[in-house]
Chains A and B, each alone.
Chain A
Amino acid sequence: MEESLLAVAILWSILFLYSITGSMDFGAGFWGMVYGKRKDSTASKIANRFLSPTWEVTNVFLVLFVVSLVAFFPFAAGMLATVLLLPVGLGLILLTIRTTFMVFEGKTERFKDLLRITSGVTGLVLPALLVSILPITLGGFIAFEEGYPQLLYGKLLSSVTVYMHIAFGLSTALFLSALFLADYAREAGDETAYHTYRRHAIWLGPLSLIIAVLTIFTMPEEASWIVENFRENMYGFGMSVTLFLIGYVLLFVKRPNGDVGYSRLSVVFVVLQYGFAIYAYGSAHLPYMVYPHLTIEEGFTNPTMFNQLLIAYIIGLCILVPAFILHWKLFLKDKRYLKQD
Chain B
Amino acid sequence: MDTVMLARALFGTSLGFHIIYATIGVGVPLMIIVAELMYIITKDEDYKIMAKRWTKGFAILLAVAIASGTIVGVLISLLFPGFMQIVGQVIALPFQIEIFAFLIEAVFMSIYLYAADRLPTPLRLISIISVAIGAAASAILITDAHAWMNTPAGFEMNANGEVINVNPWRAFFNPSFAVTAIHVTVSAYMTVAFLVGSIAAARLLKSTITDQERRYHKKSITLAIYIGAIMSLATAINGHETAQMLHEYNPRKLAAAEGLFETTTHAPLSVGGWTSREDEEVKYAIEIPYALSFLAGDRFDTEVKGLKEYPEELWPPLFVHTLFNVMVGIGTMLIGLSFFAIFWRWILKKELPGWMLALFVGGGPLAIIGIEAGWCFSCIGRQPYTIVNVLKTSDAATHANNVGILFALFVTLYCILLIVTVAVMVSYFKRHPVEPELVEKGV
A-to-B contact residues, CB < 8 Å: 52-53, 56-57, 59-60, 62-64, 66-75, 77-78, 80-86, 88-90, 92-93, 95-97, 99-100, 102-104, 107-110, 148, 150, 301-302, 304-305, 308-309, 312-313, 315-316, 319-320, 323-324, 326-327, 330-331, 334, 336-337
Contacts and interface: CB of A to CB of B under 8 A. Distances in A.
B297 interface: no
A75 B60 contact: no
B349 interface: no
A321 B108 CA distance: 13
Interface string B392-403: 000000111111
Interface stretch (B95-103, B205-213, B332-340, B364-372): B95-103
A308 B73 contact: no
A309 B166 contact: no
A57 B114 CA distance: 14
Given A99-B66, A107-B427, A305-B168, 15 more contacts: A67-B92, A67-B98, A70-B87, A77-B77, A77-B81, A77-B88, A81-B77, A82-B399, A90-B406, A305-B89, A308-B168, A308-B169, A312-B100, A315-B100, A316-B96
A313 B60 contact: no
- Highest count of chain B CB atoms <10 Å: which of A56, A86, A337: A56
A331 B168 CA distance: 38
A327 B113 CA distance: 12
Contacts of B97: 312, 316
Contacts of A92: 70-71, 74-75
Instruction: Return the 10 tightest CB-CB contacts between A and B, nearest first.
Output: A74-B88, A71-B92, A103-B63, A316-B100, A81-B81, A85-B400, A96-B67, A78-B81, A99-B67, A77-B81
A148 to B, nearest CB: 4
Contacts of A110: 427
Contacts, number: 204
Contacts of A81: 77-79, 81, 84, 398, 400
A304 B166 contact: yes
A74 B86 contact: yes
A176 to B, nearest CB: 22
Interface in B93-125: 93, 95-100, 102-104, 106-111, 114-115, 118
Nearest to B73: A63
Interface of B: 59-60, 62-64, 66-71, 73-75, 77-79, 81-82, 84-90, 92-93, 95-100, 102-104, 106-111, 114-115, 118, 163, 166-169, 398-403, 405-406, 409-410, 413, 417, 420-421, 424, 427-428, 431
A71 B96 contact: yes
B103 A60 contact: yes
8 contacts: A56-B110, A67-B95, A68-B96, A69-B77, A103-B62, A108-B427, A109-B431, A305-B168
A62 B77 CA distance: 14
Given A96-B417, A305-B166, A330-B114, A70 B92 contact: yes
A92 B87 CA distance: 22
Contacts of B74: 63, 66, 88, 92
A59 B82 CA distance: 26
A323 B85 CA distance: 32
A102 B9 CA distance: 29
Contacts of B108: 323
A52 B81 contact: no
Nearest to A99: B67
Contact of A302 (B75, B89, B106, B410): B89
Contacts of B71: 92, 96
A67 B399 contact: no
Contacts of A64: 99
Nearest to A103: B63
B388 to A, nearest CB: 20
B88 A57 contact: no
Nearest to A75: B85
B95 A71 contact: yes
A97 B417 CA distance: 9
Contacts of A95: 67, 70
Contact of B114 (A150, A308, A337): A337
Contacts of A71: 88, 92, 95-96
A93 B409 contact: yes
A48 B166 CA distance: 47
A275 B249 CA distance: 50
Given A89-B406, A110-B427, A84 B78 contact: yes
Given A71-B96, A330-B114, A104 B60 contact: yes
Nearest to A92: B71
A326 to B, nearest CB: 7
B24 to A, nearest CB: 15
Contact of B78 (A89, A323, A331): A89
Contacts of A313: 96
Contacts of A63: 69-70, 73-74, 99, 102
A97 B167 CA distance: 40
